[in-house]
């Protein structure tokens, strides 16, 4: 039995579905009929009624200040899944440094407010369009990468939804942070046993995966971080040389410990850290830019780097710098995600989640806490991927 929410004019009933009304929900069985009836409620797999309205976050003005750019909408319509779409009740959503790049309009200048925000989520299918029922079922756990995850419910095309064994925040960490590390290192890292790999912001959401993937390739891994607590965490995931840049000079440590320089840098900070990383490259070394978080909160989006000297430094070392933007490598995405999930399930990969329990106001729970979670990310105190839980009352019966 498929459970569908039907809207007048949507056309789903023209596909041979007879709908009989059981109080508020619509339960559909296969019998031809022309019926354009409409209900504001439908049944989910727990037997609780999905409301007609929900909370979600919307960008209402462009700004790198997330609190200024984004508004919590308390009474938005729950979206209706079209043919080939799933309606997902979000249980966990991920926080990314680039959330403020999106809220400031840097990714697509043609998009004007208001628009939805949030890149990734994991939850359960609670309703689905007709053709989506061929591959998904109500109650199935799924994860996805799609704009608009900062909402209690999100519609997602079935062809981009990823079935997962359980609704676990650890699996959410792999969707963007894990795949960014996996694909970029595969494409531009040229990893092999004995190579020296430096990961900046190594204890963060994506840095943790770059460290572990490099160790999996039997490399020697250096990880920069901002506290002794983070340095201890990095040791637990195999980092050979954690460097606390708040108390140590990274360049001096590299010169003393690795005088020939590092073969690969996985760089996400920008500014002075980028310049230092370029100077630490070995002959024929590679630097991969996956971000430059130090400048995201500025009006320009980046801090200045010594770009004038860059050509000479690279030429002298026969070195290279590569940019990596995940959306341009979607052809590699599925294979990367499946490989990471397999590693996690076999115990070969730690997916560290930061729920904000050490933040001043405690664990990030509910859409209201997304604002705190973004602030927390930019304090640089998180260890692992920051995740916000969206609790739902699922035991209410019709």
Domain assignments of the chain as residue spans, ordered by start: 12-167+352-389, 177-345
pLDDT surpassing 80 at residue 32: no
pLDDT above 90: percentage of residues in the chain: 84
Distance, in Å, from the CA atom of 97 to the CA atom of 104, rounded to the nearest integer, reads 12
> Which residue shows structure tokens 């040229």?
190
| Residue 164 · residue 190 · CB < 8 Å | no
Distance, in Å, from the CA atom of 22 to the CA atom of 328, rounded to the nearest integer, reads 47
- Mean pLDDT over 309-331 rounds to 97
Distance, in Å, from the CA atom of 372 to the CA atom of 382, rounded to the nearest integer, reads 12
Which H or E run contains 67? helix 66-69
The per-residue pLDDT for range 90-138, each reduced to its tens digit, is: 999 999 999 999 999 999 888 899 999 999 999 999 999 989 999 999 9
Between strands 262-267 and 281-289, the pairing is parallel
Helix and strand numbers (H, E) in the chain are 11, 18
CATH of domain 12-167+352-389: 3.90.180.10
Q: What is the pTM of this model?
A: 0.88
The per-residue pLDDT for range 46-97, each reduced to its tens digit, is: 655 688 899 999 999 999 999 999 999 999 999 999 999 999 999 999 999 9
Look at residues 239, 248, 268 and name the one whose alpha carbon lies nearest to residue 377.
Answer: 268
pLDDT above 70: percentage of residues in the chain: 86
CA distances for 142 relative to 157, 167, 365, angstroms: 12, 7, 20
Angle at 25 between CA 24 and CA 31, to 5 degrees: 125
Angle at 110 between CA 109 and CA 115, to 5 degrees: 95
Phi, psi (deg, nearest 5) at residue 33: -165, 155
The per-residue pLDDT for range 244-257, each reduced to its tens digit, is: 999 999 999 999 99
Which H or E run contains 244? strand 241-244
In 10 A of CB 209, how many CB atoms?
31
pLDDT surpassing 50 at residue 15: no
CATH of domain 177-345: 3.40.50.720
Q: DSSP 3-state helix, strand, coil percentages of the chain (rounded to 5)?
A: 30, 25, 45
Helix (H, G, I), strand (E, B) or coil at 287: strand
In 10 A of CB 139, how many CB atoms?
12
What's the pLDDT at 33? 23
The per-residue pLDDT for range 205-238, each reduced to its tens digit, is: 999 999 999 999 999 999 999 999 999 999 999 9
What's the pLDDT at 81? 94
The per-residue b/e assignment along 186-195, b for 16 or more CB within 10 angstroms, e otherwise, is bebbebeeeb
What's the pLDDT at 394? 52
What's the pLDDT at 392? 78
Mean pLDDT of the chain: 88
């Amino acid at each position: 039995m498929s459970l569908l929410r039907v809207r007048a004019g949507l056309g789903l009933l023209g596909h041979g579905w007879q709908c009989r009304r059981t109080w508020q929900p619509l339960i559909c069985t296969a019998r031809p009929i022309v019926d354009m009836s409409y209900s504001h409620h439908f049944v989910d797999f727990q037997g609780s009624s999905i409301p007609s309205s929900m909370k979600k976050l919307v960008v209402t003005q462009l700004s790198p200040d997330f609190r200024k750019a984004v508004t919590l909408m308390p009474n938005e319509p729950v979206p209706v899944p079209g043919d080939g779409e799933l309606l997902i009740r979000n249980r966990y959503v991920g926080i990314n440094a680039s959330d403020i790049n999106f809220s400031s309009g840097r990714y697509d200048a043609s998009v004007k407010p208001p628009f939805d925000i949030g890149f990734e989520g994991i939850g359960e299918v609670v309703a689905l369009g007709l053709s989506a029922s061929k591959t998904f079922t109500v109650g199935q756990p799924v994860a996805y990468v799609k704009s608009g995850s900062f909402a209690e419910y999100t519609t997602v095309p079935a062809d981009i939804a990823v079935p997962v064994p359980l609704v676990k925040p650890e699996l959410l960490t792999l969707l963007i942070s894990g795949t960014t590390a996996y694909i970029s290192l595969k494409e531009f890292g040229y990893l092999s046993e004995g190579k020296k790999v430096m990961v900046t912001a190594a204890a963060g959401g994506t840095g943790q995966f770059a460290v572990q993937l490099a160790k999996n390739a039997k490399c020697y891994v250096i990880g920069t971080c901002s506290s002794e607590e983070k340095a201890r965490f990095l040791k637990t995931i195999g980092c050979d040389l954690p460097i606390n840049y708040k108390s140590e000079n990274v360049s001096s440590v590299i010169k003393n410990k690795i005088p020939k320089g590092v073969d690969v840098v996985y760089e996400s900070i920008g500014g002075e850290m980028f310049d230092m990383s370029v100077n630490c490259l070995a002959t024929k070394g590679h630097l991969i830019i996956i971000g430059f978080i130090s400048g995201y909160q500025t009006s320009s989006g980046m801090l200045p780097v010594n770009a004038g000297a860059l050509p000479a430094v690279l030429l002298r070392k026969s070195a290279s710098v590569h940019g990596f933007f995940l959306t341009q490598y979607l052809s590699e995405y599925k294979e990367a995600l499946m490989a990471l999930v397999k590693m996690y399930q076999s115990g070969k990969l730690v997916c560290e989640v930061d729920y904000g329990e050490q933040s001043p106001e405690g664990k990030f729970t509910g859409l209201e806490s997304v604002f705190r979670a973004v602030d927390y990310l930019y304090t640089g105190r998180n260890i692992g991927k920051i995740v916000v839980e969206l609790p739902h009352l699922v035991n209410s019966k019709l």
